[in-house]
Amino acid sequence: MFKSGFVTIIGRPNVGKSTLMNHLMGEKLSIVSNRPQTTRNNIQTILTKENYQIVFVDTPGIHKPRHKLGEYMVKVAQETLREVDLVLFLTNPEVEVGKGDQYILEQLRGKGVPVFLVLNKIDENTEERVAATLKNYAEHFDFTEVIPISAIKGKNTDRLVDLMVKHLPEGPKFYPEDMITDQQERFIISETIREKALKLLSQEVPHGIAVEIITMKKDEKDIYNIEATLLCEKDSHKGIIIGKGGETLKKISTYARQDMEKFLGAKVYLKLWVKVKKEWRDNVSLLRELGYK
Ligand SMILES: Nc1nc2c(ncn2[C@@H]2O[C@H](COP(=O)(O)OP(=O)(O)OP(=O)(O)O)[C@@H](O)[C@H]2O)c(=O)[nH]1
Ligand SMILES: [Mg+2]
């Protein structure tokens, strides 16, 4: 029997949703950082094996939005719950079920699809804390399966896949088996740049960054020439992104290029620019232009 379905990975920001999806796919397809609100779109990836096909949907962390971009992020994440076959509700050992998680669990109530409690980051928590969290969460919601994991270490993740397959319905192959994501190459490239900005910059600066690819061309020697603009919200941010003597921008560019070369399997020339677009995160038409629509 062939099984298939859509599996949404949902949870608060920073709990490790994208890390888990990348791990399950065995490939870096969604960017990761140690700051909340890294993922801004639904990222769909496809895992096809002999007897199943799982379509994972990595979603932006559900939070209380403070601007239009945040509203967009929460909305797209919640929309994935409309047509879904199984939900992975991801959280971390917290013991108490906080307001954020309570809000998400409310949305999952009565959906009529299996909901797994996936407790991530057990590698940095004590067994007692993990056990106490599992107990408290189970009192708040009738989970189909409860599974503590470490997405980084790959602990219990094989078991997680087995359980997903067990609970997925019988179904067709939705996508060709060599297709691993619905994301455009250009999008993945732009996200790589944003990821490096999140790594190298601090406080509010990286959260106000959007990346636009201006050109992406492969020449006769199979070298990619890529030019992109980093948009930021304030003049003061522009200086910070560029850094002393252009140092910071250069680092962003070097790290991003290394990832791109791995992903594209080719040499990359990368040129980055920085531009200010005041308060773009609250500007609906700019958000649309940047693909947040
Ligand atoms: N110790 C530990 N850290 C983890 C684990 N999984 C993820 N992390 C870290 O948690 C941070 C957030 O990971 P992400 O995968 O970006 O989290 P996310 O839930 O996708 O976050 P948003 O996109 O902002 O909603 C990163 O620094 C990861 O390295 C884990 O199993 N153990
Ligand atoms: Mg993410």
Rounded Cα distance, 80 and 101, in Å? 17
Task: Render pLDDT for 166-200 as a digit per residue (tens, 0 to 9).
Answer: 999 999 999 999 999 999 999 999 999 999 999 99
Residues by chain with Cβ below 5 Å of ion ligand 2:
17-18, 38-39
Rounded Cα distance, 150 and 106, in Å? 25
Q: Where in the chain is the domain with CATH 3.40.50.300?
A: 3-167
Closest CA to 148 of 122, 170, 109: 122
Q: What is the mean pLDDT of residues 1-20?
A: 98
Q: Ligand 1 pocket test: which of 12, 23, 32 has the largest number of ligand atoms within 8 Å of its C-beta?
A: 32
Label the pairing between strands 115-119 and 145-148: parallel
> Is the predicted pLDDT of residue 255 greater than 90, yes or no?
yes
Output the CA 192–ligand 1 centroid distance in Å. 16
DSSP code string of 50-104: TTEEEEEEE-PPP---SSHHHHHHHHHHHHTTTS-SEEEEEE---SS--HHHHHH
Q: Residue 17: CB within 6 Å of ligand 1?
A: yes
Closest CA to 189 of 206, 170, 219, 211: 211
Q: Where in the chain is the domain with CATH 3.30.300.20?
A: 185-289
- The CATH topology of domain 185-289 is GMP Synthetase; Chain A, domain 3 (3.30.300)
Q: Can you give the pLDDT at residue 55?
A: 98
Task: Render pLDDT for 117-163 as a digit per residue (tens, 0 to 9).
Answer: 999 999 999 999 999 999 999 999 999 999 999 999 999 999 999 99
Q: Which residues contact 244 (CB under 8 A, 6 or more apart)?
A: none
Q: What is the mean pLDDT of residues 263-292?
A: 95
- Residue 293's pLDDT band, with cuts at 50, 70 and 90, is confident
Output the CA 221–ligand 2 centroid distance in Å. 35
Higher pLDDT residue, 54 or 94? 54
- Residue 261's pLDDT band, with cuts at 50, 70 and 90, is very high
CATH of 3-167, one of 1.10.10.10, 1.20.140.10, 3.40.50.300, 3.90.1010.10: 3.40.50.300
pLDDT above 90: percentage of residues in the chain: 98
Q: Residue 120: CB within 6 Å of ligand 1?
A: yes
DSSP code, position 154: T
Whether residue 223 contacts residue 246, with contact meaning beta carbons closer than 8 Å, is answered with no
Q: Can you give the pLDDT at residue 203?
A: 87
234: tokens are 């304030």
